[in-house]
Structure formats: structure tokens, C-alpha cells
């Protein structure tokens, strides 16, 4: 096989087992050191694991062209993960003014969407103090490539 300057790959990990996926990732990364590799995939976890730069196209229009890490930094996070030391009802968190959507991970862990991360964190801390609950974890969730893709390609009414 000749040694092209540009290598174009379309869904190169599709249908592979986990060991083969790791092997192909390594081959792609190695090839990317010496040449341009264009990698097309709908599996955004693979894109995030392999690529340095991402281009997102929505309905034929370019909506993002950036380094993956830069794209993740510019995307605003809108979710907090909170874990309490004891069981709590989801409904009690849904009444927090800054909470838009509350998803139960288990009986004491939740992912909460908001428009104001700082306000939600403040409300969670006040809630915990008022209810005499211990928070064992409170984290702002960083956007992953899937979240960023959805925010850039989902029609907003």
C-alpha cells in the first residue's frame, strides 16, 4: 500500500470487539502523527477518544470546527451531580427554584439540570443544611462531546 498524505476513514471501529477497537484507536493515533487523518463517525465516544480536532455539521452547515478540548471549555455546563449520604426523595429536589430537571441515579444520587449552576449549588447546600443532610459529592458535570453535539444540532423551538 502506498503512503498517502491524507487518510480518510469512515466509521473505522464499527462492528469491532472492544480489543479490536483499542487496537484501531492506536493505529489511527499513530497514523495521525505523520499525516492528516479524517475520521467520520457517529460514535462520539470514539471521536472524543481518538481525535484532536472535531468538525460538526448540522443539516449541511458547519456548526463547530475546533480542538476537542477547546470545544469542551467553551460549552457551558448546565448539570450538577449531587450525592447525599442518605436516601432522599427526588420530589424534594424538584422544588428547588434553580432545578429544571432532576434525574435519579440511585436513591441518594441525582443529576440536576439548570440554567444557573452557581445558584443551584447554593440552593443544594442550603437545602442540605435545612434538612440536616450530608452531601458526600457535589460536582458540576463537564460537557462531553455527545452533550455538545446535541446542543449544536437539536432544533430549539
Digit-by-digit pLDDT tens for the chain (157 residues) are 678 999 999 999 999 999 999 999 999 999 999 999 998 998 888 888 899 899 999 999 999 999 988 887 777 678 899 999 999 999 999 999 999 999 999 999 999 988 888 999 999 999 999 999 999 999 988 777 887 888 888 875 4
Q: Please give the backbone phi and psi of residue 151, each rounded to the nearest 5 degrees, phi first.
A: -65, -30
Within 10 A of 27 (CB to CB), how many other CB atoms are there? 13
* Domain-wise residue ranges, the chain: 6-74, 79-141
> Does this model's pTM top 0.85?
no
Place of cell 432522599: 88
Indicate the Cα dihedral angle 44, 147, 74, 10, nearest 10°: 20
CATH node for 6-74:
3.40.50.300
144 vs 78: CA distance, rounded Å: 12
Q: Among 1.10.260, 1.10.3470, 3.30.70, 3.40.109, what is the CATH number of 79-141? A: 3.30.70
6 vs 18: CA distance, rounded Å: 26
Amino acid at each position: 500500500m502506498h503512503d498517502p498524505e491524507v487518510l480518510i476513514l469512515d466509521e473505522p471501529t464499527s462492528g469491532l470487539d472492544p480489543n479490536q477497537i483499542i487496537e484501531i484507536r492506536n493505529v489511527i493515533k499513530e497514523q495521525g502523527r505523520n499525516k492528516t487523518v479524517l475520521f467520520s463517525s457517529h460514535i462520539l465516544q470514539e471521536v472524543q477518544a481518538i481525535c484532536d480536532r472535531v468538525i460538526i455539521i448540522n443539516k449541511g452547515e458547519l456548526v463547530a470546527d475546533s480542538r476537542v478540548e477547546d470545544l469542551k471549555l467553551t460549552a457551558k455546563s448546565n448539570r450538577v451531580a449531587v450525592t447525599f449520604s442518605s436516601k432522599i426523595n427526588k420530589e424534594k429536589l424538584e422544588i428547588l427554584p434553580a432545578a429544571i430537571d432532576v434525574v435519579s441515579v440511585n436513591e441518594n444520587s441525582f443529576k440536576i439540570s439548570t440554567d444557573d449552576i452557581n445558584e443551584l449549588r447554593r440552593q443544594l447546600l442550603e437545602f442540605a443544611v435545612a434538612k440536616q443532610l450530608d452531601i458526600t459529592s457535589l460536582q458540576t458535570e463537564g460537557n462531553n462531546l455527545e452533550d455538545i453535539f446535541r446542543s449544536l444540532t437539536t432544533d430549539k423551538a
